[in-house]
Chains A and B, each alone.
Chain A
Amino acid sequence: MACLTFVECSDRVTDVIPQAQRFGRAAEVVLDRALDRSVIGGFSNIGYAVRSRLPHWPADPSPEALAGATAVVTGASSGLGEQTASDLAALGAEVHLVVRDESKGNSVRKKLQARHPKARFHVWRCDLSDLNDVWTLGERMGSSLTSVDVLIHNAGALPAKRTESAQGHELTMALHVLGPVALTEALLPRLRGSLREPRVIFITSGGMYTQALHLDDLEYTQGKYSGATAYARSKRAQVELLETFSRAWAPVRVYATHPGWADTPGVQDSLPAFRAATKPILRDAAAGADTTVWLSAVQPAPRTATLWHDRHSRPTHMLPTTPASRADRARLWLWVRQQLQK
C-alpha cells in the first residue's frame, strides 16, 4: 500500500475495514497484526482508528465496572496519567493521584472533580525517582487505604542529559523501574487484600522494541548518553521483568501497556522533532490511555505477565537481537532487589 502522506495512508487503511469485516475474524487478526508489525500503522492514531472499528474490538467495560474499587495512578498531573485517572473515575473507581508537584496535582484534582462530581479523588505528593520518598508514600498509603485494586505506574521522564536520582541512580531506571518496584512492594499487602483480581500496570513504551537489556551498564555510565536510549532501555527492563514480577507478587497480576504514539506534554517537551514529524498521526490522550483503562477493568482479568496495546496482548520483541535469557532476567531482578535494600 503506497501512500504519499500519513493522512492519505490513514484513509486507505480505513478503506480496508469493510473488507476485513466481510472476510471475518481471520482477516481482522491479519490486519491487526500487520498494523502492529508495521509500527507506524499500529502505534499511530491510524492503528487505533482502524482497530476500534473492527467488529471483534473487545467490548468496553460496563459503566460501573470499577464501582467501589480503589485505583492508584502515578504521574497523574498531566497527559496520559490525568486521562487515565479521569477514565477510571468514569467507571466508578476512587482514584489516588500520585504527583510530584502538589499544586499541579490539586488543580488537576479540581478539574477532574468538576468533570466527575460523584467520584472521589485524592492527591499524594511523591518524587517516584527518590526511594526514600517512595517508601514514605508507601507507608502513608498503606496505613490510609484498606485495599488497592489497580496500581498504575505511569510517571515517566526522558531527560536530555544524564541525571541522577537522590540515591545516585540514573534517572530513567530510578523512575521507571526502582521506584515502581518499591511502591508496589510497599502496597503489596493492600493489593493482596483486594477482592477484585488486583492488578499492577506498567505504562511502558514501544521504544523498548529497539533496545535489549544492558545488564553490564544498567546505570548508563558508558558511551554517549542519549535520553531516548536510556528511556527505551528502562522500558525494556520493565517488560523483561514482567514474569518475575508476576511470580514474586502473585496472585497480583502484572501487565505492561504501551500507548503507541500519543501527543502528551512528555512528548512535547522531550521529543519536539519527533512530534513535529508525526503530529498528524499522533494519538490523543484518550486513545493513548484506552488500553490501560480497559485492562484495569476487564473481567476476568487476562493472563498475567503480558504486554498490551490496543486491547490485545502483543509480542514483547520485534527484533531478534533484543530477547534476554532467563538468567539475565533473574540477574536484573536481583540487581533491582539489591538497590532497594534499606
Chain B
Amino acid sequence: MRLERTVYTPRTPTETFTYLADFTSTNEWDPGTVSTTRTSGDGGVGSTYRNISQFLGRKTELTYTTVILRPDEFIELMGENKTLVAHDQMTITSEGSGSRVDYVAEFEFKGLTKLFAPLLRPAFNKLGDEAQKGMTQALR
C-alpha cells in the first residue's frame, strides 16, 4: 500500500529538513501519532524511535529507524512491528522562497494481515490526509 502527499511550506529546505529529520517532530505534525521518542542514536542514520500511533481506534507501536539522510534534500525511515513494515521517504525541494515536501509512505504487511490489507485503504487515506494537514500547519 502506497500513500503519496505533497506539502508546501514557506520555510527553506534547510529549515524543513532539520525539522522533519528529527522524527520526534511527528508529535507536532502527525495527528495519528500519540507519542514518538528517540530510543537510540543522535538523530543520524541508524537512530531509532519508538512511535505509538492511534489507528482504527487502537494503539499501535512501531520502531522507526533512520535509513538515509541527505541534508536539505531527502529523509528515509523504516518503521516496523509484528504486522507491518513502513517505508517513509520525504523529498524536499526548493519552491519559490519556500519548499515543497513530497512524502511517500509504503506499507508491506506481514502474515495474515496481507489478506485484509486492501480493506484498510480508506483508513490509510484518512491518515495521509490528516498528516498532510498537520504538516502544512506545523511548517507554517
Q: Which residues of A are at the interface with B, using a C-beta cutoff of 8 A?
A: 244, 247-248, 250, 325-327, 330, 333-334, 337-338
Q: Give the total of B residues in contact with A, Cβ under 8 Å.
A: 16
- Whether B74 pairs with A250 at a CB distance below 8 angstroms is yes
Q: How far, in whole Å, are A247 and B78 apart by their CA atoms in the complex?
A: 14
B70 at the interface (CB under 8 A from A): yes
- Whether B108 pairs with A325 at a CB distance below 8 angstroms is yes
- Whether B45 pairs with A247 at a CB distance below 8 angstroms is no
- Whether A337 pairs with B87 at a CB distance below 8 angstroms is no
- B91 smallest CB distance to A (angstroms): 9
Closest to B65 in A: A334
- A125 smallest CB distance to B (angstroms): 30
- Whether A247 pairs with B68 at a CB distance below 8 angstroms is yes
- B77 smallest CB distance to A (angstroms): 9
Question: Can you give 14 contacting A-B residue pairs, CB < 8 Å?
Answer: A244-B67, A244-B68, A247-B70, A247-B74, A250-B73, A325-B85, A326-B85, A327-B80, A327-B85, A327-B87, A327-B108, A330-B67, A334-B46, A334-B65
Q: Which residues of B are at the interface with A, using a C-beta cutoff of 8 A?
A: 45-46, 65, 67-68, 70, 73-74, 76, 78, 80, 85, 87, 89, 106, 108
| Cβ-neighbour of B78 out of A248, A250, A327, A337 (below 8 A) | A327
- Whether B46 pairs with A337 at a CB distance below 8 angstroms is yes
- B111 smallest CB distance to A (angstroms): 13
- Whether A250 pairs with B45 at a CB distance below 8 angstroms is no
Closest to B87 in A: A326
- Whether A337 pairs with B45 at a CB distance below 8 angstroms is yes
- Whether B74 pairs with A330 at a CB distance below 8 angstroms is no
- Whether A338 pairs with B46 at a CB distance below 8 angstroms is yes
- B107 smallest CB distance to A (angstroms): 11
| Cβ-neighbour of B87 out of A250, A330, A334 (below 8 A) | A330
On chain B, the residues within 8 Å of A325 by CB distance are 85, 108
- A326 smallest CB distance to B (angstroms): 6
On chain B, the residues within 8 Å of A337 by CB distance are 45-46
Closest to A249 in B: B70
- B115 smallest CB distance to A (angstroms): 18
Q: How far, in whole Å, are A330 and B63 apart by their CA atoms in the complex?
A: 14
- B93 smallest CB distance to A (angstroms): 12
Q: How far, in whole Å, are A196 and B70 apart by their CA atoms in the complex?
A: 21
Q: How far, in whole Å, are A337 and B85 apart by their CA atoms in the complex?
A: 20
On chain A, the residues within 8 Å of B46 by CB distance are 334, 337-338
Quick one: given A326-B108, A327-B78, are A250 and B67 in contact (CB under 8 Å)? no
On chain A, the residues within 8 Å of B45 by CB distance are 334, 337
On chain B, the residues within 8 Å of A338 by CB distance are 46
- Whether B80 pairs with A247 at a CB distance below 8 angstroms is no
- B66 smallest CB distance to A (angstroms): 9
Q: How far, in whole Å, are A313 and B8 apart by their CA atoms in the complex?
A: 37
- Whether A334 pairs with B108 at a CB distance below 8 angstroms is no
On chain B, the residues within 8 Å of A250 by CB distance are 70, 73-74
Closest to A338 in B: B46
